[in-house]
Amino acid sequence: MNGKSLILKALNHEEVPRTPWVPYTGAQIANLKGYAADEIFKDVDKLVECLLEADAQYDPDGLPVMFDLQVEAEILGCDLKWYPNTPPTVYTHPLASDFTIPTQHLTREDGRIPIILEATRRLKEAKPNIALYGLVCGPFTLASHLRGTNIFMDMYDQPEKVKELINYCEEVVSEYAGFLVEAGCDVIGAVDPLVSQISPVSFDQFLSEPFSAFFDKVRAQNVPSTFFVCGDATKNIPGMCKTLPDAIAIDENVDIVAAKKVTDEHNILISGNLQLTITMLFGTQQDNQQAAIELMDALGQKNFILAPGCDMPFGVPPENIVGVSMAVHNKEAVRKALETYVKKDELPEIELPDYDSLDHVLIEVVTIDSQTCAACGYMVASANDAAAPFGDKVKVVERSIMYPENVSFMNKIGLANAPAMLVHGELKHVSLIPTSETLTAEINAAMKK
């Protein structure tokens, strides 16, 4: 059975002869051919070259053609910042000061859509036995790209306007999904990191209907779908299931064994959740193999696809991904080879700040990486927005766990999930972006201590 058949069989909720494997190739594959990340996000020849090399080295059953949540936002008027080691990020929000719902819709010729469609067609021809994933930006994250951090206050102050904007974004990404299916994508994924940052009540109020509509439209094209989310989305997994995707993809912030009990109740496949930083970025090849085998053993061969928690960081060593592939294709042989392996803890020792001696209030935002994780980016932005009126009296520091010392910080304070926010040493917000009013009140309270 080839990889594509295996993926489609798994997404049809049938038991499969082995665990399917989908490495979420984003910026990381640029490394395979010596390119910077921004080169492969702008150049179809380089993108296809790197995807073919990823297929050759990682022996996947499926691959995303491009993992970039800014494609639609760029077309709709958001300016992007480009980096050599990550996907681009949105840094202007066209609706920030004028909350007028756009009327623009996408065409096949807009922005970087032609690059993605052409890459899909070439991959389809060159590698017909791989399941190609076409990814769109989820409607809530796209709405936040357009409106900015204001959207979190708008959900309280202007709920009907927020619904209108999210419904518009659903129509836009549904159109784009149709283009991807036409070009040859075998699976459509809606990637919406910010779903983890709202409550179940807000999910039901704002997202249940548009996501249900999106997955209905994908289903009508006879293509399976995946609902991608980042961060601790545990509280929203039941609501996500009710929108009826074929699969839900989660990251390391979620207990995947517990989550699978929920998804199994709805006969929905779950995908994930190799740790992006501690294991894939900082670990050894054996660490990655051990993690893969543990996941495969725990989750079985029905309604599960092994994958990273999200798109892999640029610096993940290729040999770690190759190691996962070896574990997938030769599980018992790799298990035997690991019998005497002992994982080493090589994280650095750190000291926490002496908060009492500081002459300012310190806000620390623990992130995966604000450049690559939309939820992390908006949590950092909310901290900066709240801190700005206080001038030098409040400082914001991002603690990205792409750096080992920040993993140590996370461990030292007993924090299990990111993004999260500490206000002057007190953990205040975990996987929920605070409103400006809430954060301002917490800053004022810290100043009085």
User: What's this model's pTM, rounded to 2 decimal places?
Assistant: 0.90
Angle between helices 150-157 and 139-147 (to 10 degrees): 100
Alpha carbon 258 to its chain centroid, in Å, reads 20
Q: Are 32 and 57 in contact (CB under 8 A)?
A: yes
Using CA atoms, how far apart are residues 423 and 41, in angstroms rounded to an integer? 36
Q: Which tens digit of pLDDT belongs to each residue from 366-395?
A: 998 888 788 888 889 999 999 999 999 999
Q: How confident is the model at residue 302 (pLDDT cuts 50, 70, 90)?
A: very high
Q: Which amino acid is at 245?
A: P
Residue bearing tokens 């300012």? 360
Q: Which tens digit of pLDDT belongs to each residue from 201-260?
A: 999 999 999 999 999 999 999 999 999 998 899 999 999 999 999 999 999 999 999 999
User: Strands 361-367 and 420-423: what pairing?
Assistant: antiparallel
Using CA atoms, how far apart are residues 146 and 53, in angstroms rounded to an integer? 35
Q: Which tens digit of pLDDT belongs to each residue from 121-164?
A: 999 999 999 999 999 999 999 999 999 989 999 999 999 999 99
Nearest residue to 318 via CA among 45, 25, 85: 25
Q: Which amino acid is at 276?
A: L
401 token code pair? 């766990």
Q: What is the pLDDT of residue 380?
A: 92
How confident is the prediction for the chain on average, in pLDDT?
Answer: 95
Q: How confident is the model at residue 303 (pLDDT cuts 50, 70, 90)?
A: very high
* Stretch 17-45: mean pLDDT: 96
Between residues 106 and 348, the one the model is more confident about: 106
Angle between helices 159-183 and 150-157 (to 10 degrees): 120
**How many residues in the chain?**
449
Residue bearing tokens 């064994």? 257
Q: How confident is the model at residue 435 (pLDDT cuts 50, 70, 90)?
A: confident
**Which residues share a beta bridge with 422?**
364, 427
302-316: b (≥16 Cβ within 10 Å) or e: ebbbbbbbbbbbbeb
pLDDT surpasses 90 at 327: yes
DSSP 97: S
**Which residues share a beta bridge with 62?**
131
pLDDT surpasses 90 at 18: yes
Using CA atoms, how far apart are residues 35 and 48, in angstroms rounded to an integer? 12
Q: What is the pLDDT of residue 164?
A: 98
Nearest residue to 173 via CA among 193, 187, 190: 190
Strands of 94-130, DSSP E: none
What is the secondary structure of 149-190 as a DSSP string? THHHHHHHH-HHHHHHHHHHHHHHHHHHHHHHHHHT-SEEEE
Q: Are 197 and 217 in contact (CB under 8 A)?
A: no
